[in-house]
Amino acid sequence: MLQHSSHQAGLLSGHKGASGRVVHKQEVKMKTYRWIACGIIACASLSVSALAADSATEMRPGMQMGRMMGQGGGMMGKGMQPMVDERESAGIPERMKVRQKAKMRIHLEAVKDIIDAIAAGDFDKASDTATRNLGMGKRMGKMCKGMKNEAFRSLAQSFHQSAAHLAEVLKKGDTKQSLIALGDTMNYCIQCHATYRQ
């Protein structure tokens, strides 16, 4: 009876993994955050790739997933039509395009760094990263002003403002609220990349 109780107490602090070693709750929690990070980064990578796609062809506004994937059987199906990017031009001046793509990659790295910092419990680092790499600094404000498409510019500014809110939430050290705020910021990324091309 005593042995059974002590085994149950052991399970409260951890459980045996496939290798037979004890896996503690904190370790399971960190692995969960890393899986969340992988999912967010994969989505963001696809968005950056879509933005970097050839923008030389004239396309109609809006993006329809069916058109992007082709008709008649999904991504690799037979009878697939050529991919057509129907998103609207963001109106980024030619001289700014390379710099803007580089900024997108910095944003992507920042999201990964923020998730890693949350997983490690380093909320100050996460907050600092959100402020420095996602927030609306002077340079970013200047870049946004150079965008010709007013709706795109407004969405970009909303993204950077949400990052400032994210930084404030991260300072409080609440994991759940931090992930919710990060999700809100990422929603601007998804909306923007679904609507606009360079």
Going residue by residue through the chain (198 aa), what tens digit of pLDDT does each one get?
444 444 444 444 455 555 555 556 666 666 666 666 666 665 555 555 545 444 443 433 443 443 444 444 445 556 677 788 899 988 888 888 898 899 899 999 999 999 999 999 999 999 999 999 998 876 766 666 767 788 998 898 899 999 999 999 999 999 999 999 999 999 999 999 999 988
Task: For residue 33, count other CB atoms closer than 10 A to its CB.
Answer: 17
Single-letter code of the amino acid located at 35 = W
Quote the pTM value: 0.60
Print burial letters for 137-165: b (CB count within 10 Å at least 16), e (below 16): eeebeebbeebebeebbebbbebbebbee
Question: What separation, in Å, do the N-terminal and C-terminal C-alpha atoms of the chain show?
Answer: 68
Return the domain boundaries, the chain.
22-61+90-197
Q: What is the DSSP letter of 130?
A: I
**Bridge partners (DSSP) listed for residue 89:** 197
Q: How high is the pLDDT of residue 173?
A: 97
Contact 22, 10 (CB under 8 A): yes
Q: What is the DSSP letter of 4?
A: H
Alpha carbon distance 3, 13 (integer Å): 16
Token pair recorded at residue 65: 């997933």
Contact 188, 164 (CB under 8 A): no
Q: Please enumerate in sequence order all residues whose Cβ is within 8 A of that of 10, keeping only pairs 6 or more positions apart, or say none.
A: 22
57: left (phi over 0), alpha (psi -120 to 50) or beta: beta
Q: How high is the pLDDT of residue 198?
A: 82
Q: How high is the pLDDT of residue 66?
A: 39
Pairing of strands 88-89, 196-197: parallel
**H-state helical runs in the chain:** 2-13, 25-51, 65-69, 97-119, 123-129, 138-145, 150-171, 175-195
C-alpha distances out from residue 11 to 1, 26, 71, 103, Å: 16, 13, 51, 46
